[in-house]
Amino acid sequence: MRLHRSIQALLTSGVTLAATVGLAVVGGSAAHAATPLPSHVFAPYFEAWTGTGPAALAAQSGDKYLTMAFIQTATKGTCTPYWNGDTGLPIAGSSFGSDIAKIRAGGGDVIPSFGGYTADNTGTEVADGCTDVNAVAAAYESVITTYDASRIDLDVEDNSLTDTAGIDRRNKAIKLVEDWAAANGRSVQFSYTLPTTTSGLAASGLDVLKNAVSNNARIDVVNQMTFDYYDGATHNMATDAESASTGLYGQLAKLYPAKSAAQLWGSIGITEMVGIDDYGAAETFSTADATAITNWATGKGVNTLSFWALQRDNGGCVGTAGSDSCSGISQGAWDFSHIMAPFSNGGGPVGNDFSLSDSPAAGSVSPGAGATATVGTAVTAGTAQNVSLTVSGAPAGVTATVSPASVTAGGSATLSISTTAATAPGSYPLTVTGSAASGTHSATYTLTVTGSGGGGSGLVNGGLETGSLSPWTCQSGGAVVSTPVHSGAYAMQAAATAAQTGECDQTVTLKPNTAYTLTGWVQGSYAFLGVSGGASASTWTSASSWTKLSVPFTTDATGSVSVYLHGWYSQGNVYGDDFSIA
């Protein structure tokens, strides 16, 4: 996918997969034939470099199937595959093994994906950089046997689309693996994920398939990236996905004239980018688009539905294009997953569902004042149903209510918030939850209380135990992680890359002209903790274990400071936990 622009964090190793579920090890013979995927499967992409666990997000979102992105080599010209090209994440049970076992125990599965934008641009896509066809095939086989995979996805874009030698090696390797799988009693599918136009694959993508035909390599699914058209037009994303798929159907009919209409539709995949994609607001995929394309794909008998990416399925950054961690549109957490997941039930009808949003999504008041917001609902699938509304997360000195307490999907209610004169300043995430027969959705309203108030520290969610970043904001790749943590269940990850320090920060309002000390526990190379704005002070450390840092500072006449954690350019991720101001 185009969004994968950097190789980021290490994920914590799990237990050995072979020990957990009895799988063959790399280089071993097939332990047993993997369970095939459903003939109609929804499998959103999971960004494996973000430091979050796939099993946890699968459980939270309700998505049983995931496409795991990406696998590539560590350096150009080598043949050994790693997750994200990171030598700390080998193709082994220690890398994601326990997560995959948990997903399978819940009735789901994963699709490992090779390639991606970064690999295709750096020569670390295995078939581009490794010139030995047998070694490329061995790389695919290692993933299949280690994780008992029943499908391998090959994300081919950008430079890989014009590397004719790499294209030929890749398809020859596919053929070798398919012969190996047949000899070992395995059923293994291969899918190509390719860029598309609104009328079907461009010539470069079609050439990949033509080369596969010439090499007798069976391609089971052709998955189109129905976004990032970069054509200067404003798009109806659902309509254009239908048009692109219809065009692909015609192209496949010419490539595979012996296939029936059902077989052709059954070899097509559609992948959207939820919310605002890299191109910008002219390409915005909405929850209504998700409903439309899910119903259309069900009717056509399409094989695969997906989106980029699971970590984006939330409304935490309204107006932002192409983020790694949010959709850029107003939505509830997992709205797109809830709409599209029923596609995996064999292509059956999509049930009733709704979305929930706050407008505005944030407000600022002085102690003793109040604020209101509109809680909007919309039908995203099926018919309207009754939605019960509640609000939680109000701290001491804050009262929050929703009226009316229930609406019919499509209706709205009012969120009313009041504070007292003693309410401590700070930013407070309030969670509005809608419950209906189809399930629940939520949206966050961030209340900021200004001024010196009751003299509190103002720092909110210092231990990250809400499980979300709010009210912290981070550069791309910043996330709440479950490991490593200093205490509790969660900590914060700041993703430093060659292009950014990964800064995460939170603005707090304290007493003016007053001395304070910021403390926090940090881990990683060049981990900086400090304040800026109404005071300026910082310290740093490089440590492989948790280290406590203290930053004394004195506020100015405004009392407002920005607390921050960041790493340093190209030095890798840093982690922080248990922040406090006293």
pLDDT in tens, 300-347: 999 999 999 999 999 989 889 989 899 999 898 899 999 999 898 654
- pLDDT classification of 185: cutoffs 50, 70, 90: confident
Residue 49 has pLDDT above 90, yes or no: no
Q: What are phi and psi of 220, to 5 degrees?
A: -80, -35
Sequence-distant (6+) residues with CB within 8 A of 489 are 465, 467, 482
**What pLDDT was estimated at residue 256?**
96
pLDDT digits (tens, 9 = 90+) for 372-399: 999 998 876 667 889 999 999 888 889 9
Kindly indicate the confidence band of residue 440, based on its pLDDT and cuts at 50, 70 and 90.
Answer: confident
In tens, the pLDDT along 216-261 reads 999 999 999 999 999 999 999 999 999 999 999 999 999 999 999 9
Q: What is the pLDDT of residue 1?
A: 60
Give the CA dihedral 434, 437, 439, 445, nearest 10 degrees.
0
Q: Over 70: is that where the pLDDT of 124 sits?
A: yes
Burial of 282 (C-beta count, 10 Å sphere; 0-12/13-18/19+): middle
CATH 3.20.20.80 domain residues, the chain: 40-350
Question: Residue 457's pLDDT band (boundaries 50, 70, 90)?
Answer: low
pLDDT at 33 (0 to 100): 54
Instruction: Please say if the pLDDT value at position 3 is more than 70.
Output: no
CA 355 – CA 339 distance, rounded (Å):
9
Q: Could you report the per-residue pLDDT of 476-526, keeping only the tens digit for each?
A: 999 999 999 998 889 999 999 988 999 999 998 888 888 999 999 999 999
| SS3 at position 339 | helix
User: Is this model's pTM higher than 0.75 or not?
Assistant: no
**CATH 2.60.40.10 residue ranges in the chain?**
356-449
Neighbouring C-beta atoms of residue 306, cutoff 10 Å = 26
| Peptide bond preceding 369 in cis form (omega within 30 of 0) | no
Beta bridge partners of 457: none
Q: Which CATH superfamily is domain 40-350 in?
A: Glycosidases (3.20.20.80)
For the segment(s) 473-581, the CATH number from 2.60.120.260, 3.30.70.920, 3.40.50.2000, 3.40.190.10 is 2.60.120.260
One-character DSSP codes across 92-132:
STTTTHHHHHHHHHTT-EEEEEEE-HHHHHHT-SHHHH---
Across the range 446-459, mean pLDDT stands at 64
Predicted pLDDT of residue 405: 95
Beta bridge partners of 419: 398
Q: What pLDDT does 22 receive? A: 30
**Under CATH, what is the fold of the domain 356-449?**
Immunoglobulin-like (2.60.40)
Give the pLDDT confidence of 11-31 residue by residue, as tens digits.
222 322 232 223 333 333 334
Query: For residue 546, is pLDDT > 80?
Result: yes
Who has greater pLDDT, 365 or 266? 266
- 576: pLDDT strictly greater than 70: yes
Q: Where in the chain is the domain with CATH 2.60.120.260?
A: 473-581
- Tens digit of each residue's pLDDT (9 = 90 or more) over 283-301: 999 999 999 999 999 999 9
Q: Give kind and range of the element (H or E) at residue 213.
A: helix 203-214
Let me know the angle formed at the C-alpha of 487 by 485 and 491, rounded to the nearest 5 degrees: 40
Cβ atoms 285, 295 nearer than 8 A: no
Q: What is the chain's mean pLDDT, rounded? A: 88
In this predicted structure, what is the pLDDT of residue 129?
A: 96
Res 36: pLDDT: 87
